Amino acid sequence: MFLSDSQIDCVFVKMSSSLQDKLKCFSVSVPAVPDGQYEVFVGSGYLRFLRAALQEQFAPRSPFVITDASLVKAGHWDAFRGGDDLSVFVIDPPGEVSKNMQTISAILEAMEGCLLGRDSLVIGLGGGTVGDMAGFAAAVFKRGVPVVHIPTTTVSQADSSIGGKTGVDSSQSKNAFGAFWQPAAVYMDTATLQTLDDVQYRAGLAESVKHAAIADEGFFAWLEEHTEPLLKRRTDALEHLACENCRIKASVVMEDPTEKNRRRILNYGHTIGHAVEALSGYTLLHGQAVAIGMTAAGWIEKEMGLAADDRLERIETLLKKLGLPTRIPPLYSPEQILSLLKLDKKALGRRPRFVLLEKLGKVLCQDGQWAVEVPENLIEQVLCRLTVQRS
């Protein structure tokens, strides 16, 4: 839901009134968590005002910023700090390659070295990898301190900054270690998306396609109709995109904050996607892997007789228009992927569970479960179909 202008004003006391009027705000309530309500703010061009607003909102907590080298290079770190000295940990190299327990240990040691206590505030300034590690560090430092997310990429603004999932990768699988730790607030400045390179930008749009596919056929149609303004990164399109993603993600998280059942629908395309991503050594971007995973899920639906309509064709067409892959690279065999699927977090008895669509905008639910078992021979058949043959 949207908050009133007066509620927004209370947070952004340091901002000009003209900018405050342009901000939209969602409230996310997590019943299972004490004081589990937080706000998600969406706007454009307010990052440079945010540090002062956070200082006002979270005083007297001591801030500790976690960001990465790409954000520093893009100028977002300097814009946020405004010339002030702040305690910061810069993840370098940026990206999934650093998303591991070694980096988490280094972050926690840096926080300890800054003499921070339970009165600290972790601020994650960056994409999904930064947010995952900032949330995890906040969850375990001194048994838990608040975290604020400032997502700066398409994937983090669409998905990972909302909902409290944190985690890092093991040597074998993605997000193997982590915790649920809900943020104290989330601030999305869509202007930060202008500095993303084209591959990163397009990859993150896969999460928006996923949200539309699982929850809102109308939003899916909007994506089909607005591909051009999205690829041109028009401010109005980016803000609408962020708001629709927030609406869908927040509604699912509020119902099932710790993924006991229905929240699993947010993993559409992620079962095979995570396996392919891990096999690539994370050279394949998360969104690219999810695009492949959604295509695979669509073919599984066809083979199971669940897809008599044209939804797979529509999903594939949209992904291709966004410049996203729909086939598995020839470097990875179906056998390798099947082996990794047994490590998937949704697997039971080493049998993976898949989120599948009943129709566009609605997930299949069988016997009260939102992730269902699929025969291994059918999975292998689909993997063989989608794997690009070596020339």
The answer to whether 101 and 126 have CB atoms below 8 angstroms apart is: no
Cβ burial of 295 (10 Å; 0-12, 13-18, 19+) is buried
Tally helices (H) and strands (E) across the chain: 17, 11
Q: Which amino acids are annotated catalytic?
A: 143, 165, 207, 249, 259, 263, 267, 270, 274, 286
The answer to whether 374 and 352 have CB atoms below 8 angstroms apart is: yes
Q: Is the dihedral of CA 282, 380, 269, 260 positive or negative?
A: negative
Q: What share of the chain is helix, strand, coil (3-state, %, to 5)?
A: 50, 15, 35
DSSP string for residues in 49-88: HHHHHHHHHHTTPEEEEEEEHHHHHHTHHHHHHTT---EE
E strand or H helix at 372 = strand 372-373
Return the DSSP state at 322.
T
- How would you classify the pairing of strands 185-189 and 362-363? unpaired
DSSP string for residues in 206-255: HHHHHHHHHH-HHHHHHHHHTHHHHHTT-HHHHHHHHHHHHHHHHHHHHH
